[in-house]
Structure 1
Amino acid sequence: PGAFSLKGFHDSLRFEDVSFRYNPEPEPVLRHIDLTIRKGEVVALVGMSGAGKSTFVDLIPRFHDVSEGRILIDGYDIRDVTRQSLRALIGIVTQEVILFNDTIANNIAYGRADATPEEVVAAAKLAFAHDFIMEMPQGYQSMIGERGVKLSGGQRQRIAIARALLKDAPILILDEATSELDSESEFMLQKAMGNLLKGRTAIVIAHRLSTIVNADRIVVFHQGEIVEMGRHEELLSRGGLYARLYAIQFRGEGENG
């Protein structure tokens, strides 16, 4: 009732004193979150499992509504805009890529029914998926099986990136896959990710060191609160939670991750 359509994303995404609890749980899973993300900024969210990172990103497309506080896009409370116009601004790439037992082309074009075959190929090339697609028996018309079983984990992720590139939404929510990939797949994925992030505002639940180091800002979650914020070197030098997480998760990876 009375909701209006958001026309694009121009300035900032802002969490104002946001708390969230799952009904009927008494304990909030997010407490008093204050954070402004500027257009064009890449923000990496880190923290132990269960710290609130996934819930935080789920509030942006309104998969849940805040319990307290508010979320603003360009100054508008997202509860005052249509869900459709809000979600049109957001591309989501998760580790559980939702793929359908359909052709590769249709999987990439999901959500963009008007996409031309040329646009689909262009997105696949930027996602470093074109070559493996062309090696398949029917190329872009190859069926990928239920949930994409005929593809490797790295290939599924690149299809998801191609889909997000084709949607071309200005705000990107990225839940990085934790799965181990061989070094060639990892390299392709990094390059695809670089193309996807270019010129976009991104909120990344980060598991890869390279993503974290390259982020404009790292936001550290702990038990539903933001406890630290800053860049990689800065946070390491503080010797707080981030430095401890880094030591646990990445010490063995050397500097190149």
Structure 2
Amino acid sequence: MKILVTGVTGQLGYDVVCEGLNRSLTMIGIGSKDLDLTNEQLVYQYIREYNPDAIIHCAAYTAVDKAEDDHENCLDVNVNGTKYLATVAKEINAKFMFISTDYVFDGKGEAPFVETDTPNPVGYYGKTKYEAEKVVQSLLSEWFIVRISWIFGLNGGNFVKTMLRLAETRNELNVVGDQVGSPTNTFDLSHLLLDMIQTDRYGIYHSTNEGFCSWAEFAEEIFRLAEKSVKVNAIATEEYPTRAVRPKNSRMSKQKLIDNGFYTLPSWQDSLKRYLYALQHEVK
């Protein structure tokens, strides 16, 4: 199977390509320097030339705060880029997987969002990702949409690396304690995505590591496992103002995975432990 993966320079795209190569699949990983996803004709030309059996679209404009003031570029990448890829995927009869986000939901309540809940994004980034979901569904009769959250991987920056860096110079940190979600290791996620793309069990899925925590609880576990003596003070979202509104409830149900014969990922604590080991030993 020949699989083209966008966003190879990011955390998830990198791990998907690495895992695909480990499985002896033919992987084509592309980044923004390889292909400008906002150039319609270039996208068509590039994808037609490689003629993949499947496309896993991980690339996105993910600067959540910047997106509030950079509507044009965010829309261009997240919506138009996805539209061009989905259009050419249909033309060459390639399977299409779009990686979406917990930010398509408004974050209200405490119950996990299910796959059939109607999205109601509160920030511009989330709005463009929801628009992209709708584009995929309108252009293709068969598709995978996989919503993920709070990812961390070896290739690129993330919350775990930030906390470890801060621990070098700080012994006390204020971390938001009222936003709850599921940290997700891109290593674990990449295995599931590749298993999924090789089936015909299409639809919307939520895929994160099991279990929920706040950012403050996540930070505490990072420091505990890394044996760093850092006191974490859980603060309210309002005490840490950001340009974009963050959903307070990013819990997502993974029932659709189970119903369709897939598996849920390991607990986020287990995954974090393995990630820190890999980080320490530079296993890539």
More helix as a share of residues: 2
Q: TM-score, normalised by structure 1?
A: 0.29
Query: Higher relative contact order by CA 8 Å / sep ≥ 6: 1 or 2?
Result: 1
Q: TM-score, normalised by structure 2?
A: 0.28
